[in-house]
């Protein structure tokens, strides 16, 4: 699910870059961090809520699990509508704050307002990706995501390449696809179904929603921190390189979305299993899951690092091959940036693992140090020492420091949760 979500997210950038131009491409990359913060609220509710629901199922209380599930979905709809209004109203000043030039501002505002208009659907899509797994219907989740992805790709081609609607077409294609990914699961869970979960109207109670949000705060922290780091990247790139730097970073982020999606998707996939076995006090299974997960993340990190280096040229050519200078800048950035995948998987696993154990504090701490502290510090300090290469190198340095923190937390809590 996460891989397909990442791929169809990349399609927007691919079409805009090749059919609308470099300035438009830089514009959507500039406002994307803010859009992802809003959508990240869905990841927070989904990850924290899934851990709570899965733990409750593991304890054998299916009725209470369904009440929690219904509360969380209702809260998501209300919260999503509120964020939509706020985002649309403040899109222009936020675009200026993010560094938009006069040549970029209109594209930023048009793209941002249209995409934010679908925030509720985006948040629902994010939470249902997790809840489909807890409901023992992961294939339906995959089908919904594929449907959303195909919708986005087809509409991108139609709205951008055929109708020439520019960034507005890209935004509309994204929004409609999010409706497919968010509304289909909503209808499925409202109707009678064969899964473990079903939506029914229930009184919204603050405590379980608060607990779920606190537990899922690491995912929100990841999202918010990543968005803040993206803003810092854009600020530094505009200062050291200019518009081309923002475009090159945009290409890196699109490819990183796909690669990191493997790590994030795996963590989301095992979350209900970890939560269920934790609730059932099956410590043997927790040990088994953790051991295999570390092996998987380590192996994947090596493979993805090698792939990123091999594909640096072709991927740069697909996005910005029309500009020789931009192509060379992007390829070089790829080669420097690639080794960060060696450590990223383990760090994401540890954060997600503690979320599944309903320990939001440690999960949030790992996410906070990994993104907001280490990445922010690296992107600010390194360029002042070694110049523009320090911008691309900052991610590797941050992941290495985060690896040490993640390992320390994992070792420190092994006796409490008995997973090692």
Q: Are 374 and 318 in contact (CB under 8 A)?
A: no
pTM: 0.74
Contacts for 399 with CB less than 8 Å, ≥ 6 apart: 340, 342, 343, 344, 347, 370, 374
Mean pLDDT score across all residues of the chain = 89
**pLDDT(23) > 70:** yes
Q: Are 10 and 257 in contact (CB under 8 A)?
A: yes
**How much is the average pLDDT of 259-286?**
88
Which of 28-37, 81-90, 389-398 has the weakest average pLDDT? 28-37
**pLDDT(312) > 90:** no
From CA 42, how far away is CA 264, in angstroms rounded? 15
From CA 282, how far away is CA 332, in angstroms rounded? 48
Residue-level pLDDT at 234: 83
Three-state secondary-structure class, residue 162:
helix
What's the pLDDT tens digit per position in 47-59? 888 888 988 998 9
What's the pLDDT tens digit per position in 88-135? 999 999 999 888 889 999 999 999 999 999 999 999 998 998 899 889
Residue-level pLDDT at 218: 65
**pLDDT(143) > 70:** yes
**pLDDT(398) > 80:** yes
Look at residues 211, 167, 131 and name the one whose alpha carbon lies nearest to residue 29.
Answer: 167
From CA 241, how far away is CA 234, in angstroms rounded? 10
From CA 397, how far away is CA 380, in angstroms rounded? 12
**How much is the average pLDDT of 142-151?**
90
**pLDDT(260) > 70:** yes
| CA angle (222, 152, 118) in 5-degree steps | 60
List, in sequence order, the alpha helices (H) in 166-205.
Answer: 166-190
pLDDT tier, 217 (very low <50, low <70, confident <90, very high otherwise): confident
Residue-level pLDDT at 180: 93
């Amino acid at each position: 699910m996460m891989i397909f979500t990442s791929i169809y997210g990349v399609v927007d950038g691919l079409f805009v870059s090749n059919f609308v131009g470099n300035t438009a491409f830089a514009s959507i990359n500039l406002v994307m961090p803010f859009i992802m913060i809003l959508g990240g609220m869905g990841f927070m509710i989904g990850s924290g809520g899934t851990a709570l629901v899965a733990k409750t199922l593991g304890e054998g209380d299916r009725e209470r699990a369904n009440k929690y599930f219904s509360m969380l979905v209702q809260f998501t709809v209300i919260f999503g509508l509120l964020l939509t209004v706020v985002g649309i109203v403040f899109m222009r000043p936020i675009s200026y704050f993010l560094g938009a030039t006069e040549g970029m501002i209109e594209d930023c505002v048009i793209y941002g307002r249209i995409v934010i208009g679908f925030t509720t659907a985006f948040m629902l899509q994010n939470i249902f990706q997790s809840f489909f797994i807890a409901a023992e219907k992961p294939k339906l989740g995959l089908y919904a995501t594929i449907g959303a992805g195909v919708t986005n790709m087809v509409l991108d081609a139609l709205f951008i390449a055929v109708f020439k609607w520019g960034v507005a077409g890209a935004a509309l294609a994204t929004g409609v696809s999010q409706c497919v990914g968010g509304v289909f699961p909503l209808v499925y869970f409202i109707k009678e179904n064969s899964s473990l979960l079903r939506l029914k109207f229930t009184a919204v109670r603050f405590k379980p929603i608060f607990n779920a949000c606190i537990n899922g705060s690491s995912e929100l922290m990841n999202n918010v921190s990543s968005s803040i780091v993206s803003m810092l990247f854009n600020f530094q790139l505009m200062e050291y390189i200019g518009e081309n730097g923002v475009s090159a970073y945009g290409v890196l982020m699109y490819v990183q979305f796909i690669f990191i999606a493997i790590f994030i998707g795996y963590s989301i996939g095992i979350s209900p299993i970890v939560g269920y076995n934790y609730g059932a006090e099956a410590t043997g299974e927790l040990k088994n899951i953790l051991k295999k997960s570390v092996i998987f993340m380590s192996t994947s990190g090596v493979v993805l690092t090698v792939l990123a280096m091999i594909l640096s040229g072709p991927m740069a050519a697909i996005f910005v091959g029309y500009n020789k200078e931009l192509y060379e800048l992007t390829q070089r950035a790829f080669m420097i940036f690639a080794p960060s995948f060696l450590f990223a998987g383990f760090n994401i696993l540890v954060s997600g693992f503690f979320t599944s154990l309903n320990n939001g504090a440690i999960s949030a701490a790992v996410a906070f140090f990994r993104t907001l502290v280490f990445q922010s510090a690296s992107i600010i300090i390194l360029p002042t020492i070694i110049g523009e290469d320090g911008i691309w190198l900052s991610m590797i340095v941050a992941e290495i420091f985060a690896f040490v923190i993640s390992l320390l937390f994992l070792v420190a809590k092994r006796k409490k949760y008995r997973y090692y």
